[in-house]
A and B are shown apart, each in its own frame.
Chain A
Amino acid sequence: MEKSLNWREFIITRAIKASGYSAIVFVLLIFFFLMREGLPALSEVDASSLLSLRWYPIENYFGILPLITGSLIVTLGAALIAVPFGIGTAVYISEIAPRWMREILKPLVELLGGLPSVVLGFLGILVVSPNLRILLDLPTGLTAFTGSLLLGGIAVPTVVSVAEDALDAVPRSYREGAWALGATPWQTIWRVTLPAAKSGVLTAIMLGVGRAIGETMTVMMVTGNAPVLALKLNSLFSPVRTMTATIAAEMGEVANGSVHYHTLFLIGIILFLISLTVNVIASSVVFRAKKRAERILS
C-alpha cells in the first residue's frame, strides 16, 4: 500500500518536472535550429546586397531593410492606436463603469482577443481597405496604415485585459485615501491609481506590442506586400511588406538549403531578437518595480 503510493508520487513528480524542463528544451531547440539555418546567409549574401533597398530573391537581391522598416512602421502605428485606446478602455472598465457594464465588457474584450486573425484580415480586405481608399483618396487601400489599424485592434484586447488586472489589483484604500483628500475621480486615476499600477500597465503595453510585431496573417492580407523602404511619414499610407508576411508567403515555395531559404531564416532570427528585446525590457521593468518594493518593505 505504502509502496504503491510512493511509486505514484515518484512518477507524478518526474512527469511534472519533465514538462517543466521541456519548455526550456523547446526554446533552445528552436533557437539552435534558427541559428543553423539562418546564420549561413550572412556569409552567402554580400553585406551590400543585404543592406540594399531591393528585396527581389529571384535575381539575388536580398535587401532586408525594407522588410524591417515595414514591420516597424506597422507595429509603431499599431502601438499608437492600441496603447491609448487599450489603457483608456482598461481605466473605464476598472474605475468608471458601473458593475453591470463591467460584467458585460470584460468577457466581450476577452472574446475579441480570441478572434482568429484571418477573420480580421478578411474584414480588413472587404471593409476597412476599400473605405480607407475612398476616405483618404489613395491609389490603393492596402497600406501600412490599414495594417496598423487592424493590428491595433488585435493588440487592444491584450492591453486591456492585462492593464485592467493591474488596475484592479490597486487596493481600494488608495482610492479612498485620495477621495477623502478631495480628489476628483479623474485626479485619483491620473495621480494615484495609474502610478500605483505602473508596472502592470507597462507589461500590458509590452505584451500588446509583442503581439502586434509577431502577427502574420492580418498584415499579409492588408498591407499590400510591396517591399519598399518605409522611412517617411507618408509611407504610412503606401503599401509595405513586413518580415512576418515575407516568411509566411515565401517559405512554402523556396528550395531547401538555397540562399533564399537561409535568408528567410535570417529574417526569422531578427524577428526573434526583436521580440526577445521587447520581452526583456518588459520583464526588467517589472523586475525593477518589484525590487524597489522589496527594498522598501525590508
Chain B
Amino acid sequence: MTDKIIIDNLSLQYADGAESLRGISMGIRQNAVTVLFGPAGGGKSTLLRCLNRLNDLTDIKTSSGRILIDGKNILDPKTDVIALRRKVGMVFARPVPLPMSIRENITYGMELAGEKRRSKLDEAVERSLKLAAIWDEVKDRLNDPAIALSGGQQQRVCLARVLALQPEIILLDEPTSGLDPISTGKVEFALLELKKLYTIILVPHSVQQAARTADHAAFFLQGELIEYDEGKKMFTTPKEKKTEDYIMGRFG
C-alpha cells in the first residue's frame, strides 16, 4: 500500500480568524478509508476543502505548506483546478441535489467534462447508482426531480454523482449527519465496496462511525493533528491522553 496523498506541513488561517490548520503533516493511503475526527472547529472540513481546492473561494488570510497527490503539489497556482475537482470528488454534509432530475444530476458532471454519448451516460448512471447502493430504489423514476427523494436517497444520489466522474479520491464531509440509522448503514456499506476502487477520506459525524469505518484514523483538535494511526489501534489503545478522553466521551 502506498501513500496516495502526502500532506506536508500545511498551515492555513481564515480571514475571520475562525477555524485554522497548524502544521499538518500526514500521508493518506490508497484504497483505504481514512477518517478525520475530533470536536467541531478542529479543522477537519478545512483540510478536506484544501484537497479539492474548494477553499479557493473563501477568504483565507494565510496558507503555507504542500499537498502532494501522486507526487504533484496541488496547491501550486498553476494546477488545473477543474481537472483536480474531477479527480477528487466530494460529498457534503447536507445532500445538495442540483435543481435537475435524478438522471441529470448524475450526468451533469460528465457533460461538463465533455461526454456526450448517450450510451456512455446511461451506462455511467446505472453503474454509479449501483455502486452507491441506490439503483433499486430509483431505477424506475430517473426523470423525477432529485429534490423529491428522501434525505438518505438524495445523499446516495450525490455520492453516485461523484462516482460517475470516476474520481480517484472521494472526500466525504459528515455524509450521514442528517440521515436515519438505516440510510447511514447503507452509506457505510457502500463505502466498504468503494474503498476497493478509490481512496476515501471521511469526516464522520460520530466517534462510533469513525470506529466502524476507519482503516486509518486521524484525531484533530483545534487545528492540530494530535494522533494518526491505524483505526483498530486508535480506538482500542490510543497513545495520547487527549485522544483517549475524546473517544471515551470525556469532552467534545
Residue in contact with A173 in the complex, picked from B96, B108, B145, B162, CB distance below 8 Å: B96
Q: Provide the bound-state CA to CA distance between A181 and B86, in Å.
A: 6
Task: Decide if B54 touches A176 in the complex (CB within 8 Å).
Answer: yes
B26-34, B87-95, B238-246 - interface stretch: B87-95
Nearest Cβ on chain A to B106's Cβ, whole angstroms: 10
Kindly state whether residue B60 has any CB partner on chain A within 8 Å: no
State whether the Cβ of A296 lies closer than 8 Å to any Cβ in chain B: yes
Q: Are A187 and B148 in contact (CB under 8 A)?
A: no
Whether B147 is near chain A, meaning CB under 8 Å from some CB there, is yes
Q: A173-B94, A181-B108 are in contact. List 9 more A-B contacts (CB 8 A).
A: A174-B99, A180-B52, A181-B86, A181-B89, A181-B165, A182-B82, A195-B99, A196-B99, A296-B147
The distance in angstroms between the C-alpha atoms of A117 and B166, with both chains bound, is 57
Residues of B with C-beta under 8 A to A176: 54, 57, 92, 96
Minimum CB–CB distance for A40 against chain B, Å: 52
**A179-B85, A182-B85, A191-B108 known; A174 vs B113 contact (CB < 8 Å):** no
Does A34 interact with chain B (Cβ within 8 Å)? no
Check if B112 is an interface residue, CB within 8 A of chain A.
Answer: yes
Is A105 an interface residue when CB atoms closer than 8 A count as contact? no
Q: Are A182 and B57 in contact (CB under 8 A)?
A: no
Verify B89–A180 contact, CB threshold 8 A. Answer: yes
- Please indicate which of the listed interface residues B83, B89, B112 has the most CB atoms of chain A within 10 Å of its own CB: B112
Could you say which residues of chain A place their CB within 8 Å of the CB of B109? 181-183
Instruction: Say which size band chain B's interface belongs to.
Output: 20 to 34
Query: Inside 8 A of B92's CB, which chain A residues have their CB?
Result: 173, 176-177, 180
Interface positions of B from 91 to 105, Cβ below 8 Å from A: 92, 94, 96, 98-100
Beta-carbon contacts of A155-184 to B below 8 Å, as 1s and 0s?
Answer: 000000000000000010110111111111
Bound-complex Cα distance A191 to B82 (A): 16
**A192 at interface, CB cutoff 8 A:** yes
- What separation, in Å, do the CA atoms of A30 and B108 have in the docked complex? 52
Contacts of B113 in A (CB 8 A): 182
Enumerate chain B residues within 8 angstroms of A174, measured Cβ to Cβ.
96, 98-99
User: Chain B nearest CB: distance from A88 CB in Å?
Assistant: 21
Interface footprint category on A: 10 to 19
Q: Is the CB of B82 within 8 A of A180?
A: no
A sample of 23 inter-chain contacts (CB < 8 A) reads A171-B96, A173-B94, A173-B96, A176-B54, A176-B96, A177-B98, A178-B108, A179-B54, A179-B85, A180-B90, A180-B162, A181-B108, A181-B165, A182-B82, A182-B83, A182-B86, A182-B113, A183-B82, A183-B108, A191-B98, A195-B99, A196-B99, A296-B147
Asked if B156 is an interface residue, CB under 8 A from chain A, the answer is no
- Please provide the chain B residues from 66 to 124 with a CB less than 8 Å away from any CB of chain A in the complex: 82-83, 85-86, 89-90, 92, 94, 96, 98-100, 108-109, 112-113
Residues in A neighbouring B90, C-beta threshold 8 A: 180
- Within the complex, the shortest CB–CB distance from B110 to chain A, in Å, comes to 9
Q: Within the assembled complex, what's the spacing in Å between the Cα atoms of A195 and B98? A: 10
From residue A132, how far is it (CB to closest CB) to chain B in Å? 42
Which residues of the other chain, A, contact B216 by a CB distance below 8 angstroms? Answer: none
Task: Say whether B158 faces chain A, with CB atoms less than 8 Å apart.
Answer: yes
Interface members, chain B 157-213 (any A CB < 8 Å): 158, 161-162, 165
Nearest to A297 among chain B residues (CB) is B147
Question: Chain B's nearest CB lies how many Å from the CB of A290?
Answer: 14
Select B145's contact among A171, A180, A191, A296, beta carbons within 8 Å: A296
A105–B100 Cα distance when bound, in Å, is 32
- Tell whether, in the assembled complex, residue A179 and residue B57 are in contact, meaning their CB atoms are under 8 Å apart: yes
Closest residue of chain B to A175, judged by CB? B57
Nearest CB on B from A103, distance (A): 14
- State A196–B98 Cα separation when bound (angstroms): 8
Shortest Cβ distance from residue A190 to the other chain B in the assembled complex, whole angstroms: 11
Report chain A residues within 8 Å CB of B145: 296
